[in-house]
Amino acid sequence: MELISLKNNLKEGLNILGKINSENTILPILKNILIKTADNKIKISATNLELAITSYIPSKIIKDGQTTIPLNIFSIIINNLQNERINIEEKDNNIIIKTDNYQAKIQGIKKEEFPIIPKIENNKEYIEIKGETLKEIISSVINAAQISGSKPELGGILLDFQISLLKLAATDGFRLSEKTIDDNNFKTNIEKRFKTIIPLKTLQELTRIIPENEEEKIQIFFDSNQVMFKTDKYEVISRVINGDFPDYQAIIPNITNTEIVLNKEYLVNALKLTGSFSDKLNEIKITIKDGLKNIEIFSSNPVLGENQYLIPAKIKGEPIEIIFNWKFLFDGIKNISGENIVIGLNGDNKPAIIKPLNSGDHFYVLMPIKNN
């Protein structure tokens, strides 16, 4: 293998891989990346056996070939080179890197020892969606998921395809978030409804890779055991989680006894301030008193002291005093779009629902902390 590539292109391609192979200490080969030439591009792949990421880097290919080398040292060299033009050559499973004033030889491992990167069997049916839209809907729900050893399905996000609608949902048993988009925001040639659970770590990596305000379209392919996200620059392929996602419809409050409409940013700032005084359980207390046009957020700590914050609000229904984990409440509110939000309450021991004002495409459900 022999090629010429540009530093910035190599850096971008390596950044896409991230650190998915850094956690494995049992199989040394997983700390390596597979470098392969194809169609005037370098194809570099990394995997942790559950997730594989491949990036495609434009290059001038002089001689085809492939090998594997440690990702960490290769990234350090490329990121610190001063020259833009970089020559890369493979000899006896070693990679030789040359510029006008630098040369390095990295010892590789033969390609046969590298795990096979899986392929999607069904590569004709897909959902196509703009990168920034996909990033937004994932970010809207991802905080409600949590890795669980006893319940693997809670460590993933449900993708519910309904032909003209696409829903993403996540829950950890204490909170739930769902985001819906219609077919004005995606294209598809899939004609059957289906559901699948995508691992949390896969979508965390995907949101890291997708740039802000990404206009490029991402194609999503599915088969019975895997999902793949594909653009011209990269592919992310992952196993899906086998199991049944919780039937969460029953816990979504349809009617609420107390409804609060207030400014989202006021509440975000109030939670940051009052949360700084909370105890190790992250408790904050929200109080709504009869006849008042504000809500009170209060927290205390036997070591630090206490504080309270008043926020103007439109309130309908019964007065209430309710306790939440402020970090869980903050996670849900910050991802809801719009200037104003609606909070619906049904007493101090039943789920609360939070959603945008005048929009039904997103909601967040949170269990309060029992008031002893």
pLDDT score of 347 more than 70: yes
Is residue 371 included in any domain, yes or no? no
Task: Return the residue matching tokens 């004709």.
Answer: 124
Residues 308 and 233 in one domain: no
Cα angle 19-25-30, degrees, rounded to a multiple of 5: 55
**Count of domains in the chain?**
3
pLDDT score of 194 more than 90: yes
Residues 222 and 260 in one domain: no
Is residue 276 included in any domain, yes or no? yes
Residues 103 and 135 in one domain: no
**CB distance 366 to 328 below 8 Å:** yes
pLDDT score of 314 more than 80: yes
Q: Provide the pLDDT confidence category of residue 177 given band limits of 50, 70 and 90.
A: very high
Residues 256 and 362 in one domain: yes
pLDDT of residue 206: 97
Q: Provide the pLDDT confidence category of residue 132 given band limits of 50, 70 and 90.
A: very high
Residues 130 and 244 in one domain: yes
Q: In what order do the strands lie in the sheet with 175-182?
A: 194-199, 156-161, 165-171, 175-182, 362-366, 352-356, 340-345, 258-263, 314-317
Please identify, among 200, 219, 248, the residue that sits at the C-terminal boundary of a domain.
248
Joined tokens for residue 10? 């190599």
Joined tokens for residue 50? 């559950």
Range of the domain at 277: 252-366
Is residue 372 included in any domain, yes or no? no
Across residues 139-149, what is the average pLDDT? 89
Q: How many CB atoms sit inside 10 A of residue 171's CB?
A: 22
Is residue 120 included in any domain, yes or no? no
Is residue 181 included in any domain, yes or no? yes
Can you give the CATH number for the domain in which 149 is found? 3.10.150.10
pLDDT of residue 363: 97
Residues 176 and 66 in one domain: no
Please identify, among 189, 223, 248, the residue that sits at the C-terminal boundary of a domain.
248
pLDDT of residue 27: 83
**CB distance 55 to 13 below 8 Å:** yes
Residues 279 and 325 in one domain: yes
How far apart (Å, rounded) are the C-alpha atoms in residues 45 and 53? 6
How far apart (Å, rounded) are the C-alpha atoms in residues 13 and 45? 10
pLDDT of residue 289: 94
Provide the 8-state DSSP code for 211. Answer: P
Is residue 176 included in any domain, yes or no? yes
H or E element at residue 12 = helix 7-17
pLDDT of residue 22: 66
How far apart (Å, rounded) are the C-alpha atoms in residues 351 and 275? 20
- Cα–Cα distances (Å) from 72 to 64, 69, 169, in that order, read 23, 9, 35
Residues 238 and 270 in one domain: no
Instruction: Give which of 112, 111, 142, 145 is closest to 35, Cα–Cα.
Output: 111
Sign of CA dihedral 68, 111, 204, 277: negative
Instruction: Give which of 112, 246, 105, 95 is closest to 174, Cα–Cα.
Output: 246
pLDDT of residue 203: 97
Across residues 67-90, what is the average pLDDT? 95
Provide the 8-state DSSP code for 266. Answer: H
Joined tokens for residue 304? 């630090």
Residues 277 and 205 in one domain: no
How far apart (Å, rounded) are the C-alpha atoms in residues 1 and 64? 5
pLDDT in tens, 259-292: 999 999 999 999 999 999 988 889 999 999 998 8
- Cα–Cα distances (Å) from 248 to 23, 32, 193, 231, 252, in that order, read 33, 41, 18, 33, 7
Residues 67 and 171 in one domain: no
Residues 11 and 27 in one domain: yes
Partnered with residue 95 across adjacent β-strands are: 90, 106
Q: What's the chain's average pLDDT?
A: 93
Residues 329 and 275 in one domain: yes
343 Cβ contact list (under 8 Å, min separation 6): 259, 260, 262, 352, 353, 354
Is residue 156 included in any domain, yes or no? yes
Q: Provide the pLDDT confidence category of residue 39 given band limits of 50, 70 and 90.
A: confident
**CB distance 342 to 359 below 8 Å:** no
Across residues 185-193, what is the average pLDDT? 97
How far apart (Å, rounded) are the C-alpha atoms in residues 234 and 228? 10
Between the ranges 115-124, 161-170, 279-288, where is the mean pLDDT highest?
A: 161-170
Please identify, among 113, 139, 162, the residue that sits at the C-terminal boundary of a domain.
113
Task: Return the residue matching tokens 């990421």.
Answer: 53
Q: Provide the pLDDT confidence category of residue 214 given band limits of 50, 70 and 90.
A: confident
Is residue 119 included in any domain, yes or no? no
pLDDT of residue 258: 96
pLDDT of residue 147: 82
